Chains A and B, each alone.
Chain A
Amino acid sequence: MKLKLTLLLLLLWGCGGSSNTGNKEETQATNTPPVVEASDPMLNMGIGPVKSVTLGQLNQEMADQGKLVYETMCTACHKLDKKFIGPAPIGILERRSPEWIMNMILNPVEMTQNDPIAQQLLIEANGAPMANQNLTEEQARQVLEYFRTL
């Protein structure tokens, strides 16, 4: 019986061919090569759409917008001054690169799967995932600017 099953599997395999396209999103998520852990976390850009952020002079208007976004979308799990469900954002710019922060906001599922820092944070939070609140890249940038004022 076992032999027949193996044979069956082989046959099924052989039938696959070009029709076996699978779920594209899923393949992308699992095929992303793991990021090599950087010794300095400030050099880790994270995984996601944000490749490079230049921080100029503080833009207060942008920061004010970011405060509004943060208060609506993030405060269920993040308190400013202490770890709540997730870490407190105070001082985050001394711990993480701006790119990493934005990628964590914009792409949390992939980050917690493949980014070593995010993986560690997920474990520290006992598996409570960072929710993807579907911020736009502009909103994530505003939140980052707000974090600079803290």
Chain B
Amino acid sequence: MEQRFNNFAALLIMIGILSSCGSGGNQGSGALVSDAASQVYVPPGQHDEYYAFFSGGFSGQLTVHGLPSGRLLKTVPVFSVDAEKSYGFNEETKPLLNTSYGFIPWDDAHHPELSQTNGTPDGRWIFINGNNTPRVARIDLSLFETVEIIELPNSGGNHSSPFTTQNTEYVVAGTRFSIPVPQKDVAINSYKDNFRGALSFISVAPEGEMEIAFQILMPGYDYDLAHSGKGKSHGWMFFSSYNTEEEHTLLEVNASQKDKDFIAAINWKKAEEYIQQGNFEEMPSSYVVNRYDESTQMASSEKRTSVKILIPEKCPGLVYYLPTPKSPHGVDVDPTGEYIIGNGKLSSDMTVHSFTKMQAAIQNEAFETVIDGIPVLKYEEVMDGVLKQAGLGPLHTEFDNKGNAYTSFFISSEVVKWDPKTRTLLDRAPSYYSIGHLMIPGGDSMNPWGKYLVSLNKITKDRYLPTGPELAQSAQLYDISGDKMKLLLDFPTMGEPHYAQGIAASVIKDRQVKFFKLSENNHPYAAKSAGETRVERQGNTVHVYMTAIRSHFTPDNIEGIKVGDKVYLHITNLEQDWDVPHGFSVMGALNAELLIMPGQTETLTWEPQREGIVPFYCTDFCSALHQEMQGYIRVSAKNSDVALKWSLDE
């Protein structure tokens, strides 16, 4: 039976190949299937056309896939420790996971966002939010490594983040959960009196360093998502909100009472003026900024003690509310910057606001009411049109380069293509199953690459071979280059991917760091040649300066280590070539391995517990003699007088 099936499959494939060889073959159903296969097939040794960056959701990480193949290229550890890369285990990266609460080995990462120049993803960095203990991370895309994490004070859950302005002047961080600001011990049912929502604007310096420039203290709603203005609306940032009911329990029912909630429009250029004028409050706060220094190859964590707060009541013209049905989830701005689209999660309609109309409404003071000093613009004055009854549960919208919008509908599980200008529905395609975010490379920028769309689905069910109760997450790739969307590929992703971002590979791939130059390694514990290797004792602290090159460690025999010592094993990889990392592991170490890139120094801390001989070895296959890349450490009793001694080939 199986043999017959195989024969049949081979035949099918042959037919597929035959038809794909032709240039203008027919588009029957058989041909369509094989056509899809050829569109996502990247031959051995060739590269994908796009990088795609997927949030790892509750894994806390960021995964990098190639498109159109969907192949997983790398997992970049961000908010969670990663024993494979020693991230959060070696001394160099531990400070990145420090917070005002101490070291936290995990977070929930939702929205990757590429840095932009002139409204176009530029491939310098990608930012991602930590939702649980509010933070924003920056990943350097010449290294594909996390180089900075900043904590957000006065935030209860960093969801509407880290969306960027068009030149990465700022990335934002709006709180999903409102809390007392500053924190205090109050009754939960005093929500309406005591709870506020902080919207943070994080400035990004030319070299990437983040600082909190200011926070805007808003009414106590849930600030859900954000996107910046662009082109004509550059200088504005839009945040969606729900729970304008300001409820604190059973939100499922109680926060869904009103017909309309708000999109908050923030004039951040105006905010800069108020900061310049000193029209802000300096609020004592406790948070940290953690940065990795490429020169010393070490991260450090710095405390910050205050933050600048802007109060809308005292800052006229800073914030306006755009009434939007109904608990809007995504707020998405089209590439021209004219249309601000509210994805009315609990409605079946898509609300399209016009930036031009918004400006006029502000000019004419067309206000429905004012809440805590924030004018609520009249819905009819700002709304340009509605795409009615397009599907159920609209969540997010991205754009192609032809003026079309693509919206994910969670409940009806489909992608809908439509024209935001005329509000005409153009096409719909099912997703398997229950799409959340969707992503077009550059699709939230001024210059989308409108060839592919990825749907990030919340439910997997039967799409892959089953793997017990927990299944891989499901992404799907569509060809959107024609009038009709075409499903090309399913591929699994890690954790729960919320948002993703994509960029043409050509923007990034030639800027990769291939190894670290030893001459530029300023790690304070580096041994930059075999001659610099040594072992030093200060009381019961021991520093081992060791080198690794194919295929030996120097030294590889160490004696005089004692039970109760704290041993810092500083390993420098002396290789100066691409793709020659060395690993390092010690029997009984309570942390992880090291994975040391060429020219890099990393430090493993080890506290020997027992007398005896402890082997160590290289964990990353490095050469034909990799298996010989090993050594021994002699551990003696606490009070022993075995002298400190180290050697290679003696």
CB neighbours of B11 from chain A (8 A): 4
B3 at the interface (CB under 8 A from A): yes
B511-569 residues at the A interface, CB under 8 angstroms: 515, 518-519, 528-531, 547, 549-552, 554
CB neighbours of A11 from chain B (8 A): 14, 17-18, 21
Q: Are A23 and B45 in contact (CB under 8 A)?
A: yes
CB neighbours of B18 from chain A (8 A): 11
Contact of A76 among B13, B20, B21, B574 (CB under 8 A): B574
Q: Are B576 and A76 in contact (CB under 8 A)?
A: no
Q: Are A8 and B14 in contact (CB under 8 A)?
A: yes
Given known pairs A20-B43, A76-B549, A131-B577, the reply for A126 and B17 (CB within 8 Å) is no
Q: Are B17 and A76 in contact (CB under 8 A)?
A: no
Q: Are B574 and A7 in contact (CB under 8 A)?
A: no
Q: Are B549 and A131 in contact (CB under 8 A)?
A: yes
Given known pairs A15-B21, A71-B529, A75-B531, the reply for A85 and B552 (CB within 8 Å) is yes
A55 at the interface (CB under 8 A from B): no
- B224, chain A: closest CB distance, angstroms: 45
A78 to B531, alpha carbons, bound, how many Å?
12
Contact of B518 among A1, A73, A126, A132 (CB under 8 A): A73
Q: Are A128 and B623 in contact (CB under 8 A)?
A: yes
Q: Are B550 and A15 in contact (CB under 8 A)?
A: no
CB neighbours of B3 from chain A (8 A): 1
Q: Are A72 and B649 in contact (CB under 8 A)?
A: no
Residue with the greatest number of chain B CB neighbours at <10 A, chosen from A71, A76, A126, A128: A76
6 contacts between A and B (CB under 8 A): A1-B3, A8-B14, A11-B18, A76-B530, A127-B623, A128-B624
A14 at the interface (CB under 8 A from B): yes
Contact of A132 among B46, B576, B625 (CB under 8 A): B576
CB neighbours of A126 from chain B (8 A): 624-625
Q: Are B575 and A72 in contact (CB under 8 A)?
A: no
B183 at the interface (CB under 8 A from A): no
Given known pairs A12-B17, A14-B21, A73-B576, the reply for A129 and B531 (CB within 8 Å) is no
Q: Are A133 and B529 in contact (CB under 8 A)?
A: no
Q: Are B10 and A133 in contact (CB under 8 A)?
A: no
Given known pairs A8-B10, A11-B14, the reply for A72 and B518 (CB within 8 Å) is yes
A70 to B3, alpha carbons, bound, how many Å?
62
Q: Are A4 and B20 in contact (CB under 8 A)?
A: no
A58-79 residues at the B interface, CB under 8 angstroms: 71-73, 75-77
CB neighbours of A8 from chain B (8 A): 10, 13-14, 17
B7 at the interface (CB under 8 A from A): yes
Q: Are A76 and B45 in contact (CB under 8 A)?
A: no
CB neighbours of A127 from chain B (8 A): 623-625
Q: Are A72 and B528 in contact (CB under 8 A)?
A: yes
CB neighbours of B580 from chain A (8 A): 131
A149 at the interface (CB under 8 A from B): no
Q: Are B21 and A131 in contact (CB under 8 A)?
A: no
A36 at the interface (CB under 8 A from B): no
A131 to B518, alpha carbons, bound, how many Å?
14
A127 to B628, alpha carbons, bound, how many Å?
12
CB neighbours of A128 from chain B (8 A): 550-551, 623-625
A71 to B518, alpha carbons, bound, how many Å?
12
CB neighbours of B547 from chain A (8 A): 76
CB neighbours of A5 from chain B (8 A): 10
| Bitwise interface map of B from 1 to 30 toward A, beta carbon under 8 Å scored 1, else 0 | 001001100110110011011000000000
CB neighbours of B550 from chain A (8 A): 128-129, 131
CB neighbours of B649 from chain A (8 A): 84
Q: Are A7 and B14 in contact (CB under 8 A)?
A: yes
A75 to B43, alpha carbons, bound, how many Å?
41
Given known pairs A4-B7, A128-B623, A131-B577, the reply for A76 and B529 (CB within 8 Å) is yes
Known A1-B6, A8-B10, A76-B574; 8 more pairs at CB < 8 Å: A4-B14, A76-B554, A84-B649, A126-B625, A128-B623, A131-B549, A133-B576, A133-B577
A134 at the interface (CB under 8 A from B): yes
Task: Specify the chain B residue showing the minimal Cβ separation from A1.
Answer: B7
A132 to B579, alpha carbons, bound, how many Å?
11
CB neighbours of B623 from chain A (8 A): 127-129
A1-39 residues at the B interface, CB under 8 angstroms: 1, 4-5, 7-8, 11-12, 14-15, 20-23, 26
- A54, chain B: closest CB distance, angstroms: 28
- A129, chain B: closest CB distance, angstroms: 6
Task: Specify the chain B residue showing the minimal Cβ separation from A75.
Answer: B530
CB neighbours of B551 from chain A (8 A): 128
Task: Specify the chain B residue showing the minimal Cβ separation from A7.
Answer: B14
A74-123 residues at the B interface, CB under 8 angstroms: 75-77, 84-85
A8 to B7, alpha carbons, bound, how many Å?
12
A111 to B625, alpha carbons, bound, how many Å?
19
A75 to B649, alpha carbons, bound, how many Å?
13
